[in-house]
Amino acid sequence: MKKLLCATYVGIDAKVIDVEATLTKGLPSFSVVGSLSSSMSSDLKERVKSALLTNEFKFPPKRISISLSPSDIPNKTGSHFDLSIALLILLNSCDAALDDWFVFGELGLDGSVKENIYLYPLILSLANQKLIQKAIVPFDALEKLSNIPDIAFYGVKSLKEALFLLKNQDSQHPNSLQKASEYPFYELKNEKYFYMKEYPEDFSDVKGQAVAKRAALIAASGFHNILFEGSPGCGKSMIATRMRYILPPMTMSEILESAKLDVLDDKEPLFAPRRGFRSVHCSATNASVFGGGSFKAKIGEVGLAHKGILFFDELPHFSKTVLESLREPMQDNKIRISRVNTKVEYPADFLFIGAMNPCPCGNLLHTQKECRCSDVEINRYKNRLSDPFLDRIDINVVMQNVSPSDTASLSSKQMHKKVVEAHIFMKQRGQNVFNAKLSDKEIEVYCLLSEEAKQTLEQATYRFALSFRSIKKVQKVARSIADLEQSQYIQKQHILEALSFRKRS
105-130: per-residue pLDDT in tens? Answer: 999 999 999 998 889 999 999 999 99
HSE-up (13 A, CA, CB side) for residue 361 = 12
Q: Residue 170 and residue 238: Cα distance in Å, rounded? A: 58
Cβ–Cβ under 8 Å, residues 337 and 297: yes
Q: What superfamily in CATH does domain 194-424 come from? A: P-loop containing nucleotide triphosphate hydrolases (3.40.50.300)
Cβ–Cβ under 8 Å, residues 124 and 264: no
- By CB neighbour count within 10 A (0-12 exposed, 13-18 middle, 19+ buried), where does 58 fall? exposed
CB neighbours of residue 284 within 10 Å = 16
Q: Residue 498 and residue 218: Cα distance in Å, rounded? A: 10
Q: Residue 50 and residue 486: Cα distance in Å, rounded? A: 66
Q: Residue 243 and residue 200: Cα distance in Å, rounded? A: 11
Q: Show the DSSP H helices in 29-188 as ranges.
A: 38-53, 82-90, 119-128, 142-145, 159-167
DSSP state of 429: T
CATH 3.30.230.10 fits 2-171, yes or no: yes
Cβ–Cβ under 8 Å, residues 153 and 165: no
Name the nearest CA neighbour of 86 among 8, 15, 30, 132: 30
DSSP state of 248: P
Q: Which residues of the chain register pLDDT less than 50?
A: none
Query: In this predicted structure, what is the pLDDT of residue 26?
Result: 86
Q: Show the DSSP H helices in 383-411 as ranges.
A: 387-390
- Tens-digit pLDDT profile for residues 431-471: 999 999 999 999 999 999 999 999 999 999 999 988 898 99
All CATH 1.10.8.60 domain ranges in the chain, comma separated: 438-505
Q: Residue 227 and residue 240: Cα distance in Å, rounded? A: 10
E strand intervals along 121-195: 134-138, 152-156, 185-188, 191-194
All CATH 3.40.50.300 domain ranges in the chain, comma separated: 194-424
Cβ–Cβ under 8 Å, residues 396 and 504: yes
E strand intervals along 34-103: 63-69, 102-103
Strand pairing report for 334-338 and 343-347:
antiparallel
Name the nearest CA neighbour of 276 among 301, 309, 299: 309
Which amino acid would we find at residue 186? Y
Query: In this predicted structure, what is the pLDDT of residue 72?
Result: 83
Which amino acid would we find at residue 195? Y
CA angle 480, 481, 484 (to 5 degrees): 90
CATH 1.10.8.60 fits 438-505, yes or no: yes
Sign of CA dihedral 77, 338, 301, 347: negative
Cβ–Cβ under 8 Å, residues 312 and 355: yes
Query: In this predicted structure, what is the pLDDT of residue 500?
Result: 95
- By CB neighbour count within 10 A (0-12 exposed, 13-18 middle, 19+ buried), where does 390 fall? middle
Those residues with Cβ within 8 angstroms of residue 363's Cβ, 6 or more apart along the chain or in another chain? 231, 369, 370, 371, 372
All CATH 3.30.230.10 domain ranges in the chain, comma separated: 2-171
Q: Residue 169 and residue 179: Cα distance in Å, rounded? A: 24
E strand intervals along 319-433: 334-338, 343-347, 351-356, 395-398
**What are residue 262's phi and psi, to 5 degrees?**
-60, -45
SS3 content of the chain, % helix, strand, coil (to 5): 40, 20, 40
Peptide bond into 358 cis (omega under 30): no
Q: Residue 21 and residue 65: Cα distance in Å, rounded? A: 6
Cβ–Cβ under 8 Å, residues 430 and 436: no
